[in-house]
Amino acid sequence: MGAGGAALALVLWLLGLLEPFEARTWDWRARLMARPGEATSRVATILIDQGSLDWGRESQGLAWPWPRETYRAITDFCARGGAKAVVFDMIYSEPSSYGVEDDRGFRASLKRYGKGVGALFLSSENKKAAKAWPAGQPEAGIEIAGLDRWLAAAKPGSLAFTNAQFPTPEIAGGAAMLANTNFPRDSADSVYRRVPLFDLFDGKVVPSEALAAYLVGEPGPHSLAIEAGRLRVDGRGVPIDREGRAILRFRGPSQTHAAVSAASVIQAEIRHEAGESGGSDLSPGIFEGKYVLVGVTAAGLYDLKPTPMSSAYPGVEVNATMLDNLLSGDFMSPLPFPATVALLLLLCLGAGAAASTVSGGKSALVYLAVIPLAPLAGLGFYAAGYWLQVAALGLGGVLALVGSSLAGYATEGRQKRYIKGAFKQYLSPAVIEELIAHPESLKLGGERRELSIFFSDMQGFTSVSESLSPEELTALLNDYLSAMTDIIQDEGGTIDKYEGDAIIAFWNAPLDLPDHAARAVRAALRCQSELAELRPAFRARVGKDLFMRVGVNSGPAVVGNMGSRTRFDYTMLGDAVNLASRLEGINKQYGTYTMVSASTYRMAGGAYPARELSRVAVVGRVEPVTVYEPMLPAEYEARRPVLEAFGQALELFYAGAFAQAEEAFGALADRDPPSRAYRAKCRELQASPPEGEWRGVWVMTQK
């Protein structure tokens, strides 16, 4: 059975059917193992981000595309700082709309610097592009020893291009070298994982931006050769496949390499040229001895690419990663085929032998021991610089295990299959596992437990739903609820139910979680962070920003199977549940988005900083409750002065000094929504003083 599993997995791998799955496992490894390399600090980027576009439009009246004068300023700034080379990851294929002198000024700056790399775009689809290298365009003049012999043997169809889009001659003439800015995606899923260091056009070797930056920035002469499946660049061996591509070793998320906004650089250079430089100006010395790549990251400029790090990773940073790998000499290598086959056989034979010696409940232990072996081996080989085929190994191991489990699947597993099939659409995986372990619990009834309860609701969802078709609304809800649910379940929470856009969840049932309060608060903060990342994409779909309010409370509740004898849900009841719901709603009174009760704050044990927000009496509840607004540590530290001033004003409010409190809250109102709410409340209490003894309680009159 083990040999059969290995053979089937090997065939599927060689046919390419496992490639999409293998790509996902590779992306996981790349994210988990991403670390700065030896040369990461030697690569920097200048980013034309949204802030730079806003600065250009609002301060300089510049529409996109910018005048070439801006790039002239960037070049001069880098030259003053002693940058090794500057790569412009943009194709200036059209003359400047500001006139030919604008182009010539940029060209003169590049010429003075002498280490600027321009971009061209190679393709085989743009029939209007040049089919031969135009006169006046600088040639790299690169010679690669052994190239013809390698081309004849490998026959890499993707390296040779028939068309090229060049920059204007006015600009190209100033560049020390032109480089191809177009590199292919992986065929499995169109993600950028492998890149060629060079391409071919009109019989000439065209370097990638990374290779061009190295050749321009490092003193020559340079030696390039292809031998034994490697491209050797001045002794550095880069493993390449039959298509001439190298596997990237990503260093981390966007801006892992030192990044500076283009607006900051341009402003600093303008002030320098005007003789206005001061101590607060950006120093060109930050680029001393570094390779600098200039590119766009603003979403509207369409140079965001899917990579293992992110689905929207700046293209200029893909080039920066390639250059980093070249300088560090640590591109990834595919594990040789014989070694992969040997590991596959070893794993499958071992898994089959282990599974055949056990039965019943012990087989689960074998699965638990065998299944992680492939991903763990993948991580180990990644650390050593190799791409191990985890999907093939994992599939082979699973196939070997499954054969020995068929008998148990037909008898002992029947009840488990029934439970999972009946409830997988309704209950969380944790609840399903609890039911499998204790099927006798499939009856009406509940138990009293201490829970942390989570209620969330999307702000203004009614108006959003009215602006969308049913199909668009369904797709939006699915994307939103999926993202939030993944976080809640990742933190050990159980989804109670969805009510439109609202999510109700709880912690500490059916499984015991001693830190349930901290998990609930962390889930709330992670959900807010995730929504913030998704907000631009959602805005593009609905035309407005989406926000959600979250209320969390911890306390005793009855939890269990509730409903009729024929249809029931695993849910919860109790006053603690009602209070969590009320906290979610009263966020709107304070202008906050996350609120937790005093019991949750206390039981979380200071896991997250929070400010005391109010003593509030919610609708339907006599006793007031103290509520808090939790925050991530970084946000709390950034807002500490405002939060401390808010706390002092709140003490005045509790003491009944409404006039003084109004003044204190008023000083914060333009920066802090709760302060605005308290300022209005203080005015109201001064106009209509509270009757009886003042206890500092804000009585809510609506949910």
pLDDT more than 90, % of the chain: 74
Cis peptide preceding 630, ω within 30 of 0: no
168 pLDDT band, cuts 50/70/90, is very high
Question: Among residues 175, 167, 171, 176, which one has the least CA distance to residue 106?
Answer: 171
Residue 432 has pLDDT above 80, yes or no: no
Q: Answer yes or no: are the C-beta atoms of 328 and 40 closer than 8 Å.
A: yes
pLDDT at 38: 95
Least confident of 133-137, 201-205, 334-338, 576-580: 133-137
Residue 522 has pLDDT above 60, yes or no: yes
Least confident of 529-543, 587-601, 612-626: 612-626
421 pLDDT band, cuts 50/70/90, is low
368 pLDDT band, cuts 50/70/90, is confident
pLDDT at 482: 94
pLDDT at 445: 63
pLDDT at 276: 83
Distance CA 246, CA 234 (A): 17
CA atoms within 13 A on the CB side of 640: 5
Per-residue pLDDT reduced to its tens digit, 57-98: 999 999 999 999 999 999 999 999 999 999 999 999 999 999
User: Bridge-partner residues for 592, per DSSP?
Assistant: none
pLDDT at 109: 97
What predicted TM-score, i.e. pTM, was given to this entire model? Answer: 0.59
Per-residue pLDDT reduced to its tens digit, 267-324: 999 999 988 866 667 999 999 999 999 999 998 888 899 999 999 999 999 999 999 9
User: Bridge-partner residues for 52, per DSSP?
Assistant: none
The 3-state DSSP class for residue 564 equals: coil
pLDDT at 642: 96
Question: Among residues 262, 405, 249, which one has the least CA distance to residue 331?
Answer: 249
- Mean pLDDT, rounded, for 212-216: 97
pLDDT at 407: 41
Per-residue pLDDT reduced to its tens digit, 12-38: 989 989 999 999 999 999 999 999 999
CA dihedral sign of residues 349, 354, 360, 366: negative
* One-letter-per-residue 3-state SS of 250-316: CCCCCCCCEEEEHHHHHHHHHHHHCCCCCCCCCCHHHHCCCEEEEEECCHHHCCEECCCCCCCEEHH
Residue 427 has pLDDT above 80, yes or no: no
Residue 44 has phi, psi (to 5 degrees) of -135, 160
Per-residue pLDDT reduced to its tens digit, 112-136: 999 999 999 999 887 778 999 998 8
pLDDT at 430: 65
pLDDT at 443: 52
Per-residue pLDDT reduced to its tens digit, 369-416: 888 999 999 999 999 999 999 999 999 888 887 865 654 444 445 556
- More reliable by pLDDT, 431 or 454: 454
* One-letter-per-residue 3-state SS of 133-169: CCCCCCCCCCCCECHHHHHHHHCCCCCEECEEECCCH
